[in-house]
Amino acid sequence: MQSQLASLVLIFCRLICVKIVSSSTIMVVTRFDEDFPQYEYDTTSGTPYKNCGGSESVLKSVEIIPCDLKSGDRCVLDRGTNVTFKMSFLSEKSSKTLQAKIYGIIDYIPVPFPFPQPNACKDIRVSCPIIKGQLYNYSISAPVKSKYPKGSLWIKGELIEDTGNLLVCLKIPVRID
Ligand SMILES: *[C@@H]1O[C@H](CO)[C@@H](O)[C@H](O)[C@H]1NC(C)=O
Ligand SMILES: *[C@@H]1O[C@H](CO)[C@@H](O)[C@H](O)[C@H]1NC(C)=O
């Protein structure tokens, strides 16, 4: 009964952009957006992702290495290993600078991830300035630290141009194991 009710609520909330997550004791109201698996899969790498509004570029490829989809729909990142993120995009804007921001979305709240390299110009080929119409490859590696808590979350990455607009915005569903 409770799960039927929950399904009805979820269907309803798809329409009004609000979701009510219910458990036997608490009710939390959140935006549904972070939780629904509305992502797509990169056709070459199979990495799941969601474009979250970088309207000034065209995404060409997204890849997490390794992305073990053993849980079905999330990249499983094993603690104590290194993970590499690669992406290529065609820029539709020019920009002198490029800033990277990474968040972990836990319980619907984006938590900024301490990121040693916010200057994305150092992680793209060809380097800055970003030129409209050109293809860029972005690549970073990071350790999945043993102290990270296990669990599912979205990782959100943004590349921001000199005007402050989002050039690229990506969300990737992962599970830390
Ligand atoms: C992860 O990368 C760092 C820096 O390149 C390296 O020192 C470390 O050994 C790597 N760890 C693993 C588990 O491969
Ligand atoms: C970007 O990556 C693609 C595919 O991996 C490769 O073919 C291309 O040469 C790379 N471009 C640059 C500028 O590194």
Q: What are the boundaries of each domain within the chain?
A: 1-36, 38-176
- Could you give the angle at the alpha carbon of 103 between the alpha carbons of 101 and 104, nearest 5°? 160
The verdict on the CB of residue 37 being under 6 Å from ligand 1 is no
Amino acid present at 158: E
> Given pLDDT bands bounded at 50, 70 and 90, which one contains residue 71?
low
The verdict on the CB of residue 81 being under 6 Å from ligand 1 is yes
Q: Is the pLDDT score of 1 beyond 70?
A: no
Please count the CA atoms within 13 angstroms of the CA of 167 that sit on its side-chain side: 30
* Distance between CA atoms of residues 19 and 89, nearest Å: 33
pLDDT, mean of residues 146-173: 92
Amino acid present at 111: V
Q: Is the pLDDT score of 117 beyond 60?
A: yes
Please give the pLDDT value at position 114.
77
The verdict on the CB of residue 82 being under 6 Å from ligand 1 is yes
Distance 78 CA to ligand 1 centre (A): 13
Q: What is the largest CA-CA distance in the chain?
A: 58
Q: Is the pLDDT score of 36 beyond 80?
A: no
154 vs 39, residue with greater confidence: 154
> Given pLDDT bands bounded at 50, 70 and 90, which one contains residue 10?
very low
DSSP conformational letter for 95: B
> Given pLDDT bands bounded at 50, 70 and 90, which one contains residue 96?
very high
CATH of domain 38-176: 2.60.40.770
Pocket of ligand 2 (CB under 6 A): 88, 125-126, 137
Length of the chain: 177
Please give the pLDDT value at position 37.
54
Query: What is the pTM for the complete model shown?
Result: 0.77
pLDDT, mean of residues 6-34: 39
Distance 74 CA to ligand 2 centre (A): 25
Please give the pLDDT value at position 76.
92
- Residue 23: partners with Cβ closer than 8 Å, 6 or more residues away: none
User: For 144-159, what is each residue's pLDDT tens digit?
Assistant: 999 998 998 999 999 9
> Given pLDDT bands bounded at 50, 70 and 90, which one contains residue 111?
confident
Closest ligand 1 atom, residue 80 Cα: 13
pLDDT, mean of residues 79-96: 95
